[in-house]
Structure 1
Amino acid sequence: MNCIIIEDQAPAQRILKRYIEDLGSLELLATFSDPIQAMSFLKSAAVDLIFLDIHLPKLSGIDFLKSISNPPKVILTTAFPDYALESYDLDVVDYLLKPFSFQRFVKAVSKLSMHGQVAKDKNPSNLKTSKSLFLKSGHEHIKIDIDQISHINSDADYTDVYYGDKKYISSESLKYWEDTLSEYGFIRVHKSHIVNLSMVVKIAKNQIYLQTKATVPIGRTFKKILDERYLS
């Protein structure tokens, strides 16, 4: 897998180069301190993965990522945790908070094989594409856009699927929804709740605040997973 580094700090460049060399499964094509130069390089080179710093001269890593069409897979690297949730809205593979260990680097790269895959359809009635699925509610099958689902919660034998300003009652279990939507940026944050990370506005204490104005509790068991995987 071909990769490049976009990072303006020499020490950080050296660490990434050493980790890439030690891993052995990546081929480093080039290193850039200027994102504008990297943009030109991407037009002529086959790049599979970018290690992208956020704080860069001339153009931030976030703005760089928003400015290119059909970008390669991206692992963000930064010393600032403030951009974690925004980065997942941009569909990055992972978010490495400096300083990070070789083990954490390996964990990020290991996510590449799963990133962006369509979850397997476990129910023939739920025929879905990478952006939509058919939700069975009562005797109806309703086509919905996955990215418009804000959260799902368990209610006894049923689940409530919150879609825009609507709520659909589904006979599928919360485990079913967790398995089906995990590859689309959904995460279980409580024994009874799943949220769409792209809908998250902020996390405060043990509450998640969504764009829809809804709040979802974070269970004690899941808080550590949330912190380690997405906020650290």
Structure 2
Amino acid sequence: MLNAIIIDDEPMAIEVIKSLAVDVPFITITQSFTRSLQALEFLRQNKTDLIFLDIKMPGLSGIDFLKSLLDPPMIIFTTAYNEHAVQSFELDAVDYLLKPFSFTRFLKACNKAAAFYRMRLSSMTSSTDLLPSIFLKSGYEQIKVELSALAYIECIGNYLHFNFDTQKVISRMTMTEAEDMLPKGFFLRIHRSYIVSISRISKIDKRSVWLMGKELPIGQSYMSEVEKLLS
């Protein structure tokens, strides 16, 4: 069950979302607010998994409100304006609902949120803190790295770029060699040139994976493995 709140300056829009959510068995609307700042205290004191967030609001806009949160819940934007769609996905929003939206479209957004929630829960229970440290050969050096800090690997020419939280290590090896070296169940190859940490994924659509604010493509031959992750 996902605990959700609604932030929208139009009471009628709030009622529409509430009426749609009644028919989604895994969504519970716990509170609603007509101003974004009103929700801050509630979020500090109550576990919230999802926010249905309007963009154009008096005072603090939905975009600025999201930027102000240090550890935001999942966000589904609900707005009558389409010009903010790109920016919303750059902020890792789960979905962007353009008013007026149908129940089918609303349910699709909720299903995406549920899939991401399951994925995050799975990555948490897999205990990435228990991932081992390894040595990577870079030039003439052997560099000790923590796999729990590895976000993704990118293949460029004959070299792999290992992108960690605070450093990048470049090593001459193949993607197959990297796959064999990584613990199973923690990393996923999404493209002939990319391997990603499952726990770092913030969003997935039909063509791309997002992590660390970066969009990475999904290769056609790897699509089925990505779909398995969501299911």
Task: Indicate the TM-score class for this superposition, using the shorter chain for normalisation.
Answer: 0.5 to 0.7
In the alignment, residue 113 of structure 1 is paired with which amino acid? Answer: R
- Distance in 2 of aligned mates of 1:168 and 1:21: 52
User: Does residue 177 of structure 2 align to residue 161 of structure 1?
Assistant: no
Match 1:114 to one of 116, 119, 122: 119
Moved more, 56-65 or 40-49: 40-49
1:116–1:184: 8 Å Cα contact kept in structure 2? no
2:200 match:
184
In the alignment, residue 114 of structure 1 is paired with which amino acid? Answer: M
1:97 match:
97
2:154 match:
152
Give the C-alpha shift of residue 199 in structure 1: 4.3
Equivalence map 1:56-67=2 (5 Å): 56-67=57-68
Give the C-alpha shift of residue 44 in structure 1: 4.0
CA RMSD of aligned residues (A): 4.2
Give the TM-score, by structure 2 length. Answer: 0.60
Give the C-alpha shift of residue 77 in structure 1: 0.8
Give the C-alpha shift of residue 166 in structure 1: 3.6
Q: Secondary structure at the match of 1:23?
A: coil
- Distance in 1 of aligned mates of 2:154 and 2:172: 10
- Distance in 2 of aligned mates of 1:188 and 1:65: 19
User: Does residue 87 of structure 2 align to residue 86 of structure 1?
Assistant: no
1:54–1:76: 8 Å Cα contact kept in structure 2? no
- Distance in 2 of aligned mates of 1:188 and 1:36: 29
In the alignment, residue 155 of structure 2 is paired with which amino acid? Answer: N
1:8 match:
9
After superposition, the Cα gap between the structure-2 partners of 1:84 and 1:116, relative to the gap in structure 1 and judged at 3 Å, is farther
- Distance in 2 of aligned mates of 1:187 and 1:41: 25
User: Does residue 23 of structure 2 align to residue 22 of structure 1?
Assistant: yes
Structure 2: gaps of 5 or more residues: 190-195, 225-231
Equivalence map 1:211-222=2 (5 Å): 221=220
After superposition, the Cα gap between the structure-2 partners of 1:43 and 1:69, relative to the gap in structure 1 and judged at 3 Å, is same
- Distance in 1 of aligned mates of 2:63 and 2:111: 22
Identity of aligned residues (%): 21
Structure 1: gaps of 5 or more residues: 122-126, 201-207, 209-215, 226-232
After superposition, the Cα gap between the structure-2 partners of 1:65 and 1:166, relative to the gap in structure 1 and judged at 3 Å, is same
2:33 match:
32
Q: Describe the superposition over 1:162-212 as per-residue Cα deviations: whole angstroms up to 9, x where unpaired.
A: 4355413452239964266133127899xxxx9763343xxxxxxx7xxxx
Give the C-alpha shift of residue 142 in structure 1: 2.0
- Distance in 2 of aligned mates of 1:221 and 1:197: 19
After superposition, the Cα gap between the structure-2 partners of 1:15 and 1:153, relative to the gap in structure 1 and judged at 3 Å, is farther
Q: Secondary structure at the match of 2:37?
A: helix
Q: Secondary structure at the match of 2:6?
A: strand
Give the C-alpha shift of residue 116 in structure 1: 5.5
Q: Secondary structure at the match of 2:91?
A: helix
- Distance in 2 of aligned mates of 1:30 and 1:188: 28
Give the C-alpha shift of residue 48 in structure 1: 3.5
1:134 match:
133
Match 1:197 to one of 211, 221, 227: 211
- Distance in 1 of aligned mates of 2:111 and 2:7: 20
- Distance in 2 of aligned mates of 1:186 and 1:28: 23
Q: Secondary structure at the match of 1:31?
A: strand
In the alignment, residue 20 of structure 2 is paired with which amino acid? Answer: Y
- Distance in 2 of aligned mates of 1:181 and 1:33: 38
After superposition, the Cα gap between the structure-2 partners of 1:120 and 1:70, relative to the gap in structure 1 and judged at 3 Å, is closer
- Distance in 1 of aligned mates of 2:32 and 2:3: 12
Give the C-alpha shift of residue 50 in structure 1: 2.0
